[in-house]
Amino acid sequence: MDTVAASRTITEGFTQQTILVVGDVMLDRYLWGKVERISPEAPVPVMHLENETLAAGGAANVAWNLVSLGATPLLIGLIGNDPDGDTLATMLQQSAIDVRHAVRGTRRTTVKTRIVGGHQHIARIDAEDNSAARAQEEAALITAAQNAFT
């Protein structure tokens, strides 16, 4: 069997599969632009912002990739009860990702912002809460995992 046929056989195996995805759910933000000079205040590039894009990150990205292969992911993880969480939940639902089992927690939604000037990754800014989940959030995640296939 050649590589193309083998790949097709593998991807066809994903259709009609329901796959549980558990992990850190985050929003990836990309700021795109051009760099044409260095700042006079410090030796850092000054980027002229041209575009912003959003993508599912972490476990949400895994779920998105599974959808692209034809599978049905059930996503379990914490999504903040904040505007970034609302944006992420909407993006996932529009991509046919089941977020019924994702827990809307009290922590902020993790957002990883990448600044890209031209083809150069200039910086990444992580906005996240690294503290442990609250007991009620942990209990909700465990319940979600137990009930995911019912």
**% of the chain with per-residue pLDDT over 70:** 99
Please report the pLDDT score of residue 123 as a whole number: 95
How many whole angstroms separate alpha carbon 113 and alpha carbon 125?
5
The dihedral formed by the CA atoms of 47, 92, 66 and 145, expressed in degrees to the nearest 10: 130
How many whole angstroms separate alpha carbon 43 and alpha carbon 40?
7
- Name the residue ranges covered by the structural domains of the chain: 3-30+55-110+124-147
Tokens describing residue 132:
């442990």
Please report the pLDDT score of residue 112 as a whole number: 98
| 11-40 pLDDT, tens digit each | 777 787 889 999 999 999 999 999 999 999
Report which of 85, 120, 92, 111 is spatially closest to residue 21, judged by C-alpha positions: 92
> Exposure string (b/e) for 15-51, b if CB count within 10 Å is 16 or more?
eeeeeebbeebbbbbebebebeeeeeeeeebebeeee
Global confidence as pTM? 0.85
In CATH, which of 3.40.1350, 3.30.2310, 3.50.50, 3.40.50 is domain 3-30+55-110+124-147?
3.50.50
Mean pLDDT by 10 residues, the chain (150 residues): 73 82 96 95 94 97 94 93 95 90 89 95 94 89 86
How many whole angstroms separate alpha carbon 55 and alpha carbon 11?
23
